[in-house]
Structure 1
Amino acid sequence: MTERLLICTDLDRTLLPNGNAPESAPARALFAALAARPEVLLAYVSGRHKALVEQAIAEYELPRPDFVIGDVGTSIYAITAEGWQEWPQWIAAIAPDWAGREHADMRRMFGHLADLRLQESAKQNRFKLSYYVPIEAGLPRLMAAMRGLLGEQGIRADLIYSVDEAGPIGLLDVLPASATKVHAIEFLMRELGFGIENTVFAGDSGNDLPVLISPIRSVLVANASADVRKEAQELAALRSTSSALYLAKGGFMGMNGNYSAGILEGVAHYLPHTQQWMKIND
């Protein structure tokens, strides 16, 4: 029986060459050749919402994936010839965390907190509540207030904070506690019948760490920052998952290990026979 392979990859600065490091010229075409194989299922894992994932696919001429885990893990779509179909079974899996509440209920709960400003409607969904927060806001006090309200209502939620340097403005997502990249990938693996022996994840940044240090076979592309590389190695060592973390270094097929070149390098590291699949048909 031909071995199946599930490739799950982050987009920005992992598959997409939109960082500061150079891209190896043949890498994306070789990645597309691999993704086109009948044995391979491809899932994009991104904080982007549906429209921004579609924009990235068009702009960078990416292969059409079989699945998209989007909105920071709060949505899973199956992609077919008929279009994008959201997976109701994933919604059913994460909904209990919010104890019967949905987006509008959560928004009302936090409505009196002056530092929170709702992000655009495209960046919201049923189980993702996203705010802008002024950089000068007292973040620890704000987060404590929000966690207090969540605790009172018996709601299991994660508060994910990051900074948009272009703003600069703070970004705060309120998500069901189980709606993370790693939980979504594990859910996809179970639903599709894949194990850790035939699944590979690729990432580049701090928000990929939960997957990178999990038992899921993972590759950190070579353009990842030194800080992320160090933290990933240290945390994987603490968790005894170092054998499931590969740091791309370049040299594979004459490429530099950045972006899609690093993904290919990692896949070949775990599954050497796949190197025969990484060819462009003439």
Structure 2
Amino acid sequence: MLQPVVSKPKPLVQPPATHQFSSYRNRALFTAIDNTLLGDTEALEQFAKVVRTHRRQFLFGIATGRRLDSVLTILKRYNIPTPDVLITSLGTEIYYTSELFADIAWSHHIDHSWTPQVLRRVLESLPGLSPQPKNEQSRFKVSYYYDAELAPPLEDIHAFLRQQELSVNATLSFGQYLDIVPARASKGQALRYVANQYNIPLERTLVTGGSGGDADMLRGNTLGVVVSNRHQEELSNLSENEQIYFANGAHAWGILEAIRHYGFF
């Protein structure tokens, strides 16, 4: 059973007991969970088999909007190999190894200008937003259900938050979940921070996703993969990016297809 371990504050340097991997792990694979890794049982079993076969060759990570407790439940339920790194709550928390060392330095880094009480008060005035239950919220993530018929477009929400001088990142996933995190936090920023900790080049980092919450980790120099069952609107602007591979396969089939496409191993 995985148990979180409280680690002591440390400067923004190597995570605990991880840098020794870099001598033989010179590539990484990060995947989202919902509608990417999950969704097809047979595909997930095949993917897990590939991960176990090549385990010593690469760093395996999960990047998700879910909280840590939810991710651990899913890993156990679906018999997914234990990741080396978990990026949870939309890039606001990072945990290493099966002992789940929390990266306290990352928490300090993203805490800059984060005022969740002010944020909630400001958003009360917007229509079409209703707070998600407590178990979907976390210290650095404020989450709402988003009613597209009533709520302003995401661009307008961004503009409104800037007018209020709030330094945040707002993300819409699957057209119905609005998550707001500190400006320094996102799946993409957390992923790049982790790759740097392990000295793994971004061009050897395979990243897979399927919704708006994955957009910023798919951009840039990574080997980006969008599975075919993606949320069309939220990732449509990525189709012009030559570095992103749009798989024909859905769910984990799309990840396996991308592993072949990029000759990842």
Task: Output the aligned Cα RMSD.
Answer: 3.3
2:258 is aligned with what amino acid? Answer: G
**In the alignment, what sits opposite 2:168?**
157
Partner SS state of residue 169, structure 2: strand
Check if 1:129 corresponds to 2:135: no
* TM-superposed deviation, 1:136: 5.2
CA contact (8 A) 2:247 2:258 kept: yes
1:193 is aligned with what amino acid? Answer: N
CA contact (8 A) 1:23 1:258 kept: no
Q: 2:204 aligns with which of 190, 194, 198?
A: 198
Check if 1:10 corresponds to 2:23: no
CA contact (8 A) 2:38 2:44 kept: no
**In the alignment, what sits opposite 2:256?**
264
2:137 is aligned with what amino acid? Answer: Q
Distance 1:159 1:112 in 2: 16
CA contact (8 A) 2:66 2:88 kept: yes
Distance 2:124 2:44 in 1: 49
Q: 2:86 aligns with which of 62, 68, 79?
A: 68
* TM-superposed deviation, 1:72: 1.6
Distance 1:31 1:231, change over 3 A: farther
Query: Which one has a bigger Cα radius of gyration?
Result: 1
Q: How many pairs are equivalent?
A: 243
Q: Percent identity?
A: 28
Check if 1:233 corresponds to 2:239: yes
* TM-superposed deviation, 1:4: 2.2
* TM-superposed deviation, 1:46: 0.8
Distance 1:110 1:218, change over 3 A: closer
Distance 1:25 1:91, change over 3 A: closer
> Any stretches of 5+ residues in structure 2 without a counterpart?
1-22
Distance 1:189 1:171 in 2: 27
1:57 is aligned with what amino acid? Answer: L
2:116 is aligned with what amino acid? Answer: H
Distance 2:127 2:211 in 1: 31
**In the alignment, what sits opposite 1:32?**
51
Normalising by structure 2, we get a TM-score of 0.75
CA contact (8 A) 1:8 1:44 kept: yes
* TM-superposed deviation, 1:108: 4.6
2:51 is aligned with what amino acid? Answer: A
* TM-superposed deviation, 1:10: 0.9
**In the alignment, what sits opposite 1:215?**
221
> Any stretches of 5+ residues in structure 1 without a counterpart?
165-169, 237-241, 250-256, 275-282
